[in-house]
Every structure is written in C-alpha cells, then in structure tokens.
Amino acid sequence: MDYFGEDIETIHGKKWNWKNFKSTKDYPVSNNLLEWVIGQERALNECYLCLEEWVHKLKNLKEEKWYEAWKDPDKEKPQITKTAPPGPYLLLLGDPGTGKSLIGRALSVHLTDLYKKKDIELQDVVCWQNEVIPSEPKISCHPAGEGKKILLKQKLKEAKKLFLQRIGVKAIIYLMIIVASIFMFAGFYYLYQEKVSWDTNAMTAYGEPIQTVHNGDFSKFMIDAFVSIGSITFLPAGMMLMFLILVTVLGRFGVLGSAKGIGGAKATKVPKYIVDNSRKVAPFIDATGHGSAQLFGSIAWDPLQTGGLGTPEHQRVSAGDVHRAHGGILYIDEIKNMKPDEAITLLTVLEDGQLPITMRSRWSSAGGTAAMAVATEPVPCMCFLVGAGNFDSIGQVHPALMDRIYGYGKVVRMNNDMPNTVENRRKYVQFIAQEVSRFWLIPFSREACEEMIDKGRRRSNKKDALSTKFRPMISLVKTAATLAMSEGLELVERRHVREAIDKHCKTIQKQILEHQMSERGKLLEISPEGARLGQIYGVAVVKDPYSGEMTGNVLAVKGFLEKRNKRCDNSLQGYYKVTGIAKEGKEQFIADSVAKVRSVILQKYGVDIAQEFFTHIDFAQAYRVDGPSAGVTMTILLCSLIEGKHIRQDVAVTGEINVSVDDVVPVTAVGGLHEKIRAAEMWGFKKVIVPAKNYKHSIDPRDYKIKVIPGETLDDYLRESLVDS
C-alpha cells in the first residue's frame, strides 16, 4: 500500500519528501493551533463563518461608537433596548477526543488575527467607587491597555494625597511632641524654682517665710507646688502624649486610615481593574463546570463590612467568566450539565451582551450579609459562546438556551472519521509530529507512522476511513515513544507501537472485559479441529454498557434435530427450543433471529422445525446471549443436521440471517467485526466467515493472521463450513 505518495510538498516553507522520508524528525510543526485540528474541515468552515459574522457585528458597533457611553463611569449606560444584537454562537456536538476544545482554543488565536486586520480593539473594564450610593459601584470601559494606565494614574493620585496627609500628620505629631516637651520642661523648671525658694526660705507675697507658712513640711510644700504647676504643664503634656500613643497603636493595627479587608486589601478609593485585555489577545475562557459565582461574577463578603471598617464595595467586585471573555471565546464543555438557573442567566448574557455583577452563591441562602446589597452597573460581556457536548446533549441542553443557539448561531456535528486518503494519511504524520513536539518525545520512524495509521483505520471500523478521535491516539504516541526511549533508541519503531496497542493502552473497561473472557476461556470446551455433526462455533462480542468498549467471544453452539414420528406417533406435536439466550428485557434482538431461522429453514427445505421436528439449539456454556449476529450460526447448524453434513470445527461464523427472497437467503452486516475476528484468531481458528458488506466496508485482511472470508448468502457460508459425511 502506498501510504504517503511520492511527491515533494512544501510545508510552512520547508520541502518534505513524502516518498523518501525516514522519520518525523524535522517535520515542520505549525504554531497555529487551527492547523492542529485534523479531519474536521466542515466544523472549521462553520466556525469561520460564525467568526466572520461576529467580527462584522463588532465592526458595526465600533462605527456606531457603542462604547462611548462606557468610557465615563459617571455617564448613564445603554438601556436594555439599546444593547448589541445577539449572536452568533456555536455548539459542537461529537464524541470525546474529536477536537472540540482544541477548536475552541484555536478560534481565539484566529479571532486575534481578525481583530488586527479589521482594526477592532478589545476592552478593559474598570470598577469605580460610587460616592453617592456605595452599594452601586460604577463601571467604565476603555481600549485594551488603557485600564492599566488609568489604574496607575489613580494610584499615583491617591499616593500623592496619602503622602501629603502623612506629611501633615507627621508635622502635627512633631509639633505636639515639641509643645508637650516645652510643657514638661516648664513644669520641671517651676518645680525647681519652688525648691530653691524653700532652700532660701524666701518670703511669700504676704511677707511671711515659706517654711513658716508650711510649718517646715517640705513634702507637703512640694506636693502643693506639683498640683498647682502640673495642672498647667504636666497635665496638658501627658494628654498630648497619650493621644499620640493611641493614634500610633490604632494606626499600627490598621484601624485608622489603613484598615485591611479581604485579601489584605486596604480601604482605598482607587478603582479596581476587573477585566484585563492589555495583552491585546482575544481571550479564551474555559468555563466548563463552573458555578454561578465563577460564571457571572460575584461580590466578596467581608466580615468587617457591616461596621464600615472593611474593604470598599467596588474593591470587592470580581468579574465572572462571561465578563473576562468579553470580545473573546467563552468555552463550555458538557453544556448539558448547566443548572437551569445558570442557563437562564446565560440567556441574559447572550441576549443583552451586558450583566451587572452581584453576589452569587452556590448555596440558596447566603445569609443577610452586606455583600448581598451590592450590585454594579451593567458590565459588558459580549462573548462568542462555543458550547460542546456529546450527541446525547441534544435533548438535555436547556430548551430556551438551545433555541437561542439555533436562532442566532449554528449546531455542528463533529466527524468521528475521515476518508482514508493519501492526504489524510499525511495528516496522521502531522499529528504524530505535533505530539512529539508537544511532549518532547523522540521521532517516529516511517514504519511506526504506518502502524499508527493502521490503528486509526481499525478504530474507525471502516476500511476506507481513519478515526478522528485523536485523544486515545495521543496515549499510543506517548507510550510507544517511552518504550523506545527506555531502550536508548533514537527512533520509535513499529514494534513499539504494536506493543503499546496490545499491552499498555487499553481502557480499564477493555482490561476488565478481556480479563473476564480470559478467566471464562479456561472453562470453555472449544476445540477448533476436525469436523463434527451438530456443533458449530460462532463469534460474538461482549460489550460494556457504560463505555461501549467491546471484546470478542467464541460461542460453541450445539443442536439436536429429530423427526417427531421417529420415536412417537404422529399425534405428538414437535417443539423448537433455544437455550442460553436472553429471554427478558425490552430489546431481545436474538428473539427475532430465532424466528427468522425457522422461516429460512421452511423456505429452504420445506419443513417446519417447530412442528415436524423436535428441535433444540443450545448456546453451550453461555448465558443471555443476544444480538442478531447469531442468526447465521443457528441456520448453518440446522442445515448440517437436515443434510447430514459435518461442520468444520476450524471455521467460526458471524452474520445476521434474513428471510429468503427469490430463493436466495441473504446474510447481512453486523457490528464488532474486528473484536470477533481477533477472538477467533486467538482461539486458533483457521477461517472466519463474515458478511460480505462488512468485508467490503471495514475489513482489511492484512490486519489478521486468520483467513477472513466474505459471505453474501447462506449458500456462501454453507460452502465454506460444511463437509460431506
């Protein structure tokens, strides 16, 4: 098979020879994430179309000067009736691993390039204090990068004001210290003069000696002098000093002028920078699994707020994902899991393009806190919504939200596979080179790349397709490279990829199923040798009900068929029993097969196995076998018994039997062919017969050591499985 063609291709300015390349070393990996998306051309085209519409909308808003009303925080904001038109939005639906989140991230890069070409500016959002109504902070919007300048200007302004205040306060403190010192000095000086007067026994104003007036009691004389002098010197000085100590202590504990609130923030009038687009790159916000507070913003609660000592209201405002994604991508994976109230609020965002920030809590009763009374002006949140989910999301997304997406956007199906062409096989080499570059691995050899492509083909369950579920393939790339590096090699070889596939990169469901089949296989009586009458081997799958993982299983089917008048008289009716199959439940596919087998035998041989024979088919050592693929197995078994021909025991079969048309009994396609063939191969069968449609659509014989034979009709199956007695 020619995997990669023979031409020389120029990739990102570098020539790459697809005919002679030996490994992925030096493969030119692009830095553009959009080029990393493989096999989703239709989804990308729809995304590009939506982005063109989005940019056209922003361009018209710019021409209408829609943001002019948001520049001044004191101006009235646009009313709801004057908001921007809604849309477009995008909902990507597909299986996990098909590249939904990668597309979301890549679109933000593409959007940045479109903004530069169309001269569209992103916006910064600043929250200001409302001096009139503090519980209603004001909002302003500015071109990207201006928000930081405004914040710096306001910080310098407040710093200058605080500096002058501190200078003034310090001047007053020093002046009070000087005055208090003068009073203290004066007090001690006057006391000293009183002592000198006592020592000299100076005369009082009444002409009497001091010592005589005080009866020679020096202590009483000094106490009286201290009281009289202290009231006009020491007392004022002490009051000044106590006041200074009180101010110092309170200031040190942050009670006066510098109270600290949540996060250590100081009480300040400086505005808060709540949306930063200074990098001028279209934001990509992954809001998967976020609650209301994270999605739509919130007001932080401060325990000191009730007393007026905490952080100001505008400093406690936190923007939500929808606000931070303003002008960019808001990505929500598993959008079906959004709560109804969150979906309704998201509707407001999508319709109005603006949403006030108020307190939102994960609990229904947040308590009567001061934060609940705070609500900002409307904050712009025109975001390009990219939702994602599995196909079951169609019926589980909130109906009103789904209606908005249908009305203003697009719902896109992600591809599970892509055509198995030379171009797409080259894309697989690109994918391998990208992952090698991303995880710093060693290059893959050409043969290892071919094995990865074969694995991608088998995962698609189609011969002419390649799987686009690349996330499980990433594990193969990493594991194979690690195996090669542990051996000290410079290239990953084919055997490393095969070892990773067969031994290391199976899901836990697959491991459990294979372990169960392995343990059960020790008890099974399966011997693929010779030829026997009344026994045939069919292949089936065992499926995990939650993950969909499958593994193959071999069934030994035995039969008994006897004419009713051989042992009894003709008055006794026959019967038709099938044991070992599912008999309960809403979906019993095998019940239809059992009925069709009776009709096919009647059409082919003209006998009714339920009336003219005693018929018993037993799925030996099996329990609750179900599915249409056992139909051809039971039919071949009955044909061998009726014709008396032995069945080759080294042949396993699968296929859905159908009622004959024009004497031809068709055998139609069934599922899980790869797992069934691998199970037959593991048990040592030489041949496995499969429906021709399956063979044409999804089977490449080179994938198996066992011989795979297509069968279109029942006669084709009988020809390969029956031998003469």
Catalytic residue ranges = 629, 676
For residues 197 and 189, what is the distance between their CA atoms, to the nearest angstrom? 12
CA 270 remoteness from chain centre: 37
What's at 277, amino acid-wise? N
Count of helix runs (H) and strand runs (E) in the chain: 21, 28
Q: How many CB atoms lie within 10 A of CB 369?
A: 16
Is residue 659 within 8 Å of residue 600, measured between CB atoms? yes
Look at strands 272-275 and 123-128 and give their pairing.
antiparallel
> Among candidates 488, 490, 506, 486, which has minimal Cα distance to 436?
490
| CA 309 to chain CA centroid, nearest Å | 41
Provide the H-helix boundaries in 253-300: 292-296
- Report yes or no: 536 and 634 within 8 Å, Cβ to Cβ: no
Look-up of token digits 């200058």: 160
Residue from 49, 43, 34, 38 nearest 109 by CA: 34
Encoded tokens for 420: 């198995």
Type and span of the H or E element at 11 = strand 8-11
Among candidates 522, 431, 508, 417, which has minimal Cα distance to 459?
Answer: 417
Could you tell me which residues come within 8 angstroms of residue 536 by beta carbon, excluding any fewer than 6 positions away?
557, 559, 633, 636, 637, 640, 647, 653, 721
Find, among 552, 435, 438, 554, the residue nearest to 497 by Cα: 435
Give one DSSP letter per residue of 565-592, joined into a string.
Answer: TTTS-TTS--EEEEESB--SSS--HHHH
Q: What is the per-residue burial (b if ≥16 Cβ within 10 Å, else e) of 126-152?
A: bbbbbeeeebebbbbbbebebbeebbe
Considering only the C-alpha atoms of the chain, give the largest distance between any 2 of them, rounded to a whole number of Å. 165
Distance CA 230, CA 189 (A): 11
Residue 211: closest CA among 225, 229, 199: 199
